Structures are given as C-alpha cells and as structure tokens.
C-alpha cells in the first residue's frame, strides 16, 4: 500500500504557496474546482472549493482553499514529512513566520519537530536516514 496524496485546507492560495512552494520546495502542478454537489457528498459542505495540487517526486498534496481566515480545529491529525536537513528547515520555517514546535527527546540531544502552517495544520518533520 502507498499513500497517493495528502489533502488539507488553507485559507488562501497565497498561504498555500508560501508553505508548499517557498518552504517545502514543491511544484504547483494543477488547480481544479470541486463542485458543490461533490463537496456535499464527500464532506457535507455546501460550497464549491478550489483545490491546488503540489508535488515533487516523493509526495503529492491537495490543498482545499477555504477563502476565510479560520483555523483548523483538529489538534491531533498531522502528516509526517521526511527531509534531508531538519535544522535547515527549522531555520527557514522560523524566518518565514511559521510556528515551529521543537521538543527535546528525554536522554538525548535529538528533538521532536512539528511545524504549523497558517491554517494551523500540523506537520511532523523527521530527517531522512
């Protein structure tokens, strides 16, 4: 089994581009709309949504644009991303204004790392071995 893509929400295309293109280095590959009838059937939401797909050779993300400044209310759901250099990503994310949660691991010099995007979606970050 393999995950084909992750799907999350963002308040705007600008916020989405900042996280997925500027921070993570993914490419915007397409934009499409999900009509009201499908939004109702899938999610119970009576509003058409624009979706932006970002990809690289290892991951794909579909971002539903909400066009409001609310925040996600789910505090546990997260995606885990493997990166080549966590310390470099922490620096970049901090300089771009993203929330970085760095917690020391007990009995180790290592740490747990999470980054929140502007919608408060949570991403656990681990370093590729």
Q: Tell me how far apart the alpha carbons of residues 23 and 34 are, in angstroms, rounded to a whole number.
A: 26
Whether the pLDDT of residue 22 is over 80: the answer is yes
| pLDDT, the chain, mean | 93
Q: Residue 92 is encoded by which pair of tokens? A: 């970049």
- What element of type H or E holds 122? strand 122-127
Instruction: Specify the pLDDT at position 120.
Output: 92
Instruction: Specify the pLDDT at position 70.
Output: 79
Instruction: Specify the pLDDT at position 69.
Output: 81
Whether 27 and 55 have beta carbons less than 8 Å apart is answered as yes
Instruction: Specify the pLDDT at position 76.
Output: 82
Write down the residue that tokens 């290892």 correspond to. 58
The CATH number assigned to the domain with range 6-127 reads 3.10.180.10
The Cβ of residue 71 has, within 10 Å, a number of other Cβ atoms equal to 14
Q: Tell me how far apart the alpha carbons of residues 79 and 129 are, in angstroms, rounded to a whole number.
A: 18
Across residues 102-109, what is the average pLDDT?
90
Instruction: Specify the pLDDT at position 1.
Output: 67
Q: Residue 66 is encoded by which pair of tokens? A: 């909400």
pLDDT one-digit tens code per residue, 56-104: 999 999 999 999 887 777 778 899 999 999 999 999 999 999 999 999 9
Q: Residue 60 is encoded by which pair of tokens? A: 């794909």
- What element of type H or E holds 7? strand 6-10
Query: How do the domains of the chain map onto residue ranges?
Result: 6-127
Whether the pLDDT of residue 126 is over 90: the answer is yes
Q: Tell me how far apart the alpha carbons of residues 59 and 72 are, in angstroms, rounded to a whole number.
A: 22
Across residues 37-60, what is the average pLDDT?
94
């Amino acid at each position: 089994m393999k995950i084909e893509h992750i799907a999350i929400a963002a308040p705007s295309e600008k916020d989405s581009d900042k996280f997925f293109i500027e921070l993570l280095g993914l490419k915007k590959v397409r934009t499409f709309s999900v009509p009201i009838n499908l939004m109702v059937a899938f999610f119970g939401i009576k509003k058409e949504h624009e979706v932006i797909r970002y990809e690289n050779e290892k991951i794909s993300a579909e971002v539903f644009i909400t066009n409001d400044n609310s925040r996600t209310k789910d505090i546990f759901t997260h995606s885990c991303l493997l990166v080549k250099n966590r310390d470099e990503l922490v620096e970049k994310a901090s300089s771009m204004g993203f929330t970085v949660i760095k917690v020391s691991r007990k009995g180790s010099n290592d740490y747990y790392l999470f980054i929140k995007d502007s919608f408060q979606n949570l991403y656990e970050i681990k370093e590729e071995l």
